[in-house]
């Protein structure tokens, strides 16, 4: 079969799959395309808390052990107003539409490359995985690593997360977590003097967080110079429910954000916040699944294969997160895809067509290198 990457990307863009809604329609379409491209396809669904069906696909072609997996997601951020997000437009070397860059374009490039290889040519298996809910805490990726029989029955040796990286191999990215600190007071009209302000209760803790922010910005122990910027992005936002000036705040919630990097005392930084909150008798909770960083050696075999396929002299780090975090315990992983992350989630999202077409060649070289020799 012969697939065209611009055409396939356009077809995917035209089937809306915004994260809050079901992605079953685009998954139906993808399943057919993968089957036509010679893949055995496993369809893995769950119903999300809003009752929407979320579909994940894992395809495998060829037999044997090891091999390569190309990993993408089929959900996109919402279309947004101000443009026509689900009508793909090709203009002056760019393909416009929601998901063109993040990441239906990269997904299409991986499928087109995979379709070029017959099972008989493959000495090691080739996998394509397409998850749901990536834009919602990477839920689909955690689901497939637990539930996919094709993957758990014999993990590919190598994993390429096809997120947009302008076709530069990425060996590390930051992760992050949230810490929620709550002070409880008593709401009352200030004329009664019966209130107890949650804001006054949390204030000493906030002053300490302000000092801690200075420590994180200056103490090299909390930084990693492989990243730009090298700091952990410590941030604080507050919500006291908008108490009017004549009422004491009944509850104040401080949410603190921290970006994770390797070798930057991330766990210790979290612990410092948690301990200070406890010392002030405040309620504290570290967000359920903190998204860890991704880090492999720039000399690791997957990164080196990506450098060979792209001709890049060396791999880079990026400040945004991907599902490589989920996959790195199981496979040699690298992030590599066409398009710029600057385009992701924007009104008027686009991908450079020349880069999209180049990605097909890059993924083809990777498949040849890792699955046919």
Kindly tell me which of 99 and 125 has the beta carbon lying closer to Zn ion.
Answer: 99
31, 75, 133, 323: the catalytic one is 75
**The total number of residues written for the chain in this structure:** 373
- Based on the number of CB atoms within 10 Å of its own CB, is 59 exposed (0-12), middle (13-18) or buried (19 or more)? buried
What tokens does 131 get? 């998850």
Residue 134 annotated as catalytic: yes
To Zn ion, the closest distance from the beta carbon of 165 in angstroms equals: 11
Catalytic residue among 134, 163, 323, 352: 134
Instruction: Return d(Cα 35, Cα 115) in angstroms, integer.
Output: 10
Among 68, 103, 202, 367, binds Zn ion (CB under 5 A): 103
Nearer to Zn ion, 77 or 157 (CB): 77
Q: Which is nearer to Zn ion, 104 or 201 (CB)?
A: 104
CB of 100 to Zn ion, least distance (A): 12
**CA dist., res. 340 & res. 18, Å (int):** 20
Shortest spacing between CB 163 and Zn ion, in angstroms = 5
Of 109-168, which residues contact Zn ion (CB under 5 A)? 163
Residues in Cβ contact with 214 at an 8 Å cutoff, skipping those fewer than 6 apart: none
Alpha carbon distance 343, 356 (integer Å): 14
Give the number of residues in contact with Zn ion, rule: CB under 5 A. 3
Asked if 170 interacts with Zn ion (CB under 5 A), we say no
Rank residues 62 and 169 by Cβ distance to Zn ion and give the closer one: 169
Least spacing, CB of residue 107 vs Zn ion, in Å: 10
The nearest distance, CB 134 to Zn ion, in angstroms, is 6
In the bound state with Zn ion, the residue whose beta carbon lies nearer, of 103 and 243, is 103
102 touches Zn ion by CB under 5 A: yes
Rounded Cα gap, residues 273 and 268, in angstroms: 9
Is position 102 annotated as part of the catalytic site?
Answer: no
Beta strands in 77-220 (DSSP E): 89-91, 94-96, 126-131, 158-161, 170-173, 175-184
Q: Which two tokens stand for residue 88?
A: 């793909």
- Helix/strand/coil for 255: strand
Name the residue among 251, 284, 252, 254 with its Cα closest to residue 270. Answer: 284
Query: What are the two backbone dihedrals, phi and then psi, of residue 341, each rounded to the nearest 5 degrees?
Result: -60, -20
Residue 175's beta-bridge partner residues?
260
- Tell me the residue number closest to Zn ion, measured at CB: 102
Q: Which is nearer to Zn ion, 280 or 345 (CB)?
A: 345
> Where would I find the beta strands (DSSP E) of the chain?
40-47, 53-61, 68-73, 89-91, 94-96, 126-131, 158-161, 170-173, 175-184, 235-239, 251-260, 283-286, 294-295, 316-318, 332-335, 350-352
> Of 104 and 251, which CB lies nearer to Zn ion in the complex structure?
104
Minimum distance, C-beta of residue 229 to Zn ion, in the bound complex (Å): 22
CA–CA distances in Å: residue 350 to residues 18, 243, 353: 16, 43, 9
Q: What's the min distance (Å) between Cβ of 101 and Zn ion?
A: 9
Task: Identify which range of 35-43, 102-110, 211-219, 271-279 contacts Zn ion by CB under 5 A.
Answer: 102-110
Of the listed pieces 13-21, 96-104, 111-119, 175-183, which binds Zn ion according to CB under 5 A?
A: 96-104
Instruction: State the catalytic residues.
Output: 75, 134
Q: Which residues bind Zn ion (CB under 5 A)?
A: 102-103, 163
């Amino acid at each position: 079969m012969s697939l065209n990457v611009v055409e396939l990307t356009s077809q995917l863009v035209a089937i809306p799959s915004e994260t809050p809604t079901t992605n079953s329609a685009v998954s139906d379409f993808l399943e057919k395309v993968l089957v036509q491209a010679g893949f055995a396809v496993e369809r893995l669904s769950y119903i999300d808390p809003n009752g929407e069906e979320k579909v994940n696909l894992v395809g495998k072609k060829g037999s044997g052990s090891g091999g390569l997996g190309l990993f993408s997601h089929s959900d996109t951020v919402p279309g947004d107003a101000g443009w026509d997000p689900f009508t793909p437009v090709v203009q002056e070397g760019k393909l416009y539409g929601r998901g063109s860059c993040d990441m239906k374009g990269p997904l299409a490039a991986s499928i087109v490359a995979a379709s070029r290889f017959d099972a008989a040519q493959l000495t090691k298996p080739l996998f394509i995985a397409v998850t749901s809910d990536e834009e919602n805490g990477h839920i689909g990726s955690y689901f497939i690593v637990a539930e996919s029989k094709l993957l758990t029955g014999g993990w590919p040796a190598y994993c390429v997360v096809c997120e947009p990286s302008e076709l530069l191999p990425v060996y590390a990215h930051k992760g992050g977590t949230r810490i929620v600190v709550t002070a409880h007071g008593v709401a009352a009209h200030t004329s009664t003097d019966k209130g107890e302000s949650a804001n006054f209760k949390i204030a000493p803790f906030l002053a300490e967080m302000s000092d801690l922010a200075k420590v994180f910005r200056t103490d090299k122990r909390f930084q990693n110079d492989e990243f730009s910027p090298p700091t952990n992005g410590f941030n604080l936002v507050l919500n006291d429910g908008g108490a009017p000036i004549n009422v004491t705040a009944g509850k104040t919630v401080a949410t603190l954000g921290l970006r994770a990097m390797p070798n930057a005392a991330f766990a210790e930084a979290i612990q410092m916040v948690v301990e200070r909150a406890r010392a002030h008798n405040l309620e504290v909770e570290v967000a359920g699944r903190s998204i860890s960083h991704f880090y492999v050696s720039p000399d690791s075999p997957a990164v080196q294969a990506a450098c060979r396929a792209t001709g890049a002299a060396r791999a880079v780090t990026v400040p945004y997160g991907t599902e490589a975090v989920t996959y790195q315990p199981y496979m040699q992983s690298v992030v590599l895809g066409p398009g710029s992350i600057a385009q992701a989630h924007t009104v008027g999202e686009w991908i450079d067509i020349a880069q999209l077409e180049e990605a097909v060649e890059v993924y083809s070289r990777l498949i040849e290198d890792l699955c046919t020799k």
